[in-house]
């Protein structure tokens, strides 16, 4: 079964060579800072505990940074008191992609291929035909374009996974969602609250589907993926923040 997570898709979107290094060659990341990642995981575990009805240690922390994180979190979820909620909600959505042979030398396209898209969403709130998804960020370095891609991807995935999600939709009177609102919430001392917001409606769905299907088709197409095609963010090529910068000839060029 071919399964793809958002982080793999994001790597391909950022630069096909980055995807090649990490997911095809499975090269270890040189000098990766694991402490920030570990801290993020621990914070997410505590927020999940809270969603399950427990009081996590974070709620009693007297450390200013941790206390600020907790307050920012409480503020972010306050508007959804009384809504049905799901924490760390995982979904697996099948997507049929056809026409994977895009090269002119390949006359006949391959039959449609099923790709399983995987997502784990920090928090979901459901009320009638509205769905809100929150993604908690514990660092502040994610570029805006990447945040937008992530929220669009999760909203798009959830739109297709509606029937897996809401029990109320399985009743005869159920209505499908008319709106999915996705927010990235920053939980740091210096910056807290929503830092990016996207809304998906039925009108926007075809454009989003075509954008993701085209990206996924290109990712799954045969042929070399080791092409250096770094995106530019904030006026700089992705190489300047790529974890393979010193390994990759293109990245070395941009390294100081």
* H helix or E strand, kind and range, residue 197: strand 192-201
- State the Cα–Cα distance between residues 14 and 232, nearest whole angstrom: 9
CA 172 vs CA 68, 168, 169: distances in Å? 44, 9, 8
Query: Which residue shows structure tokens 């760390």?
Result: 88
Tokens standing for 30? 């040189």
Nearer to ligand SF4, 20 or 44 (CB): 20
How far, in Å, CA of 43 to CA of 20, rounded? 30
* Residue count, binding to ligand SF4 (CB under 6 A): 14
| Least CB distance to ligand SF4 at residue 240 (A) | 8
Residue 131 and residue 124: Cα distance in Å, rounded? 7
Contact, 135 vs 121, CB < 8 A? yes
| Binds ligand SF4 (CB under 6 A): choice among 63, 70, 230, 234 | 230
The answer to whether residue 166 forms part of the interface with ligand SF4 (CB under 6 A) is no
Rule CB under 6 A: choose which of 15, 72, 121, 187 binds ligand SF4.
15
| Alpha helices for the chain (secondary structure H) | 6-14, 16-19, 34-51, 64-77, 144-160, 162-165, 205-220, 249-254
Can you tell me which residue has the tokens 């924490």? 87
Near ligand SF4 by CB under 6 A, which window of 12-20, 100-108, 114-122, 199-207? 12-20
Identify which of residues 9 and 248 has a Cβ nearer to ligand SF4 in the complex: 248
Cβ proximity to ligand SF4, 27 vs 90, nearer residue: 27
Of 18, 132, 182, 184, the one binding ligand SF4 (CB under 6 A) is 18
- Would you say 119 or 251 has its CB closer to ligand SF4? 251
What interhelical angle do 205-220 and 144-160 show, nearest 10? 100
**10 Å Cβ neighbour count for 158?**
23
Q: Using the 8-state DSSP alphabet, how is residue 150 labeled?
A: H
3-state secondary structure of 9: helix
In the region spanning residues 232 to 251, those forming contacts with ligand SF4, defined by CB under 6 A, are: 238-239, 242, 244-245, 248, 250-251
Q: Which is nearer to ligand SF4, 141 or 167 (CB)?
A: 141
Residue among 85 and 240 whose Cβ is closer to ligand SF4:
240
Residue nearest to ligand SF4 (CB): 251
Binding site for ligand SF4 (CB under 6 A): 15, 17-18, 21, 228, 230, 238-239, 242, 244-245, 248, 250-251
């Amino acid at each position: 079964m071919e399964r793809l997570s958002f982080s793999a898709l994001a790597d391909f979107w950022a630069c096909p060579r980055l995807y090649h290094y990490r997911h095809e060659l499975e090269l270890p990341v040189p000098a990766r800072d694991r402490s920030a990642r570990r801290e993020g995981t621990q914070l997410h575990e505590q927020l999940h505990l809270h969603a399950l009805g427990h009081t996590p240690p974070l709620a009693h922390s007297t450390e200013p940074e941790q206390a600020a994180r907790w307050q920012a979190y409480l503020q972010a979820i306050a508007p959804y008191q009384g809504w049905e909620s799901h924490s760390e909600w995982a979904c697996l959505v099948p997507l049929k992609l056809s026409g994977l042979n895009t090269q002119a030398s390949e006359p006949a396209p391959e039959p449609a291929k099923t790709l399983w898209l995987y997502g784990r969403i920090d928090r979901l709130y459901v009320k009638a035909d509205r769905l809100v998804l929150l993604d908690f960020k514990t660092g502040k370095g994610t570029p805006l374009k990447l945040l937008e891609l992530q929220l669009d991807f999760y909203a798009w995935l959830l739109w297709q996974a509606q029937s897996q999600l809401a029990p109320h939709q399985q009743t005869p009177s159920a209505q499908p969602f008319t709106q999915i609102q996705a927010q990235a919430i920053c939980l740091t001392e210096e910056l807290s609250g929503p830092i990016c917001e996207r809304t998906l409606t039925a009108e926007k769905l075809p454009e989003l589907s075509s954008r993701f299907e085209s990206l996924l088709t290109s990712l799954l197409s045969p042929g070399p993926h080791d092409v250096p095609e770094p995106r530019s963010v904030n006026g700089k090529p992705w190489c300047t923040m790529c974890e393979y910068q010193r390994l990759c000839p293109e990245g070395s060029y941009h390294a100081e």
